Amino acid sequence: MSKSFELEGTIKEIMETKTFKNDFTKREFVVTEDDDRYPQDIKLAMIRGNCALLDTVKPGDKVRVTFSLRGNLYQGRYYTDLQAFKLERLEPDGSSAEPIPLPADDFAPDEIRDEDMPF
């Protein structure tokens, strides 16, 4: 079982969904973590059915993202991904709003096999 991490911040940007071979989909987004003296822009990705979760938020929304750290070797290069699988909208005071429901065809992050990824 892989370890999960959490990040709280503000949605800065949401990119378009990319489709790769075998209908593998990936959608990247950027969250600005501003708890520090120097705000950090962190790029994360949703894959497959979880891409739809990003349709429920917009730039400027405060969120809590749960993600796993994924890495693999593809064509002689190593890649690291912050793969998000849960998204919660936060109230302006930092309290949690109702979690954004997962798509019906959702799957646990451990069900993802690295060989399925095209990068």
CATH label of the domain that carries residue 36: 2.40.50.140
Q: Which pTM was predicted?
A: 0.75
Q: What is the pLDDT of residue 115?
A: 56
In a domain, 110, yes or no: no
Q: What's the rounded Cα separation, in Å, for the pair 77 and 86? A: 28
3-state SS class at 104: coil
In a domain, 108, yes or no: no
User: Minimum mean pLDDT among 47-51, 72-76, 85-89, 110-114: which range?
Assistant: 110-114
In a domain, 112, yes or no: no
In a domain, 115, yes or no: no
Tokens representing 114?
């690295």
The amino acid present at 6, given as its one-letter code, is E
Domain range for 44 is: 4-101
In a domain, 56, yes or no: yes
Rg (CA), the chain: 14
In a domain, 109, yes or no: no
Rounded to 10 degrees, the C-alpha dihedral 42/47/50/54 comes to 40
Please tell me the total count of domains within the chain: 1
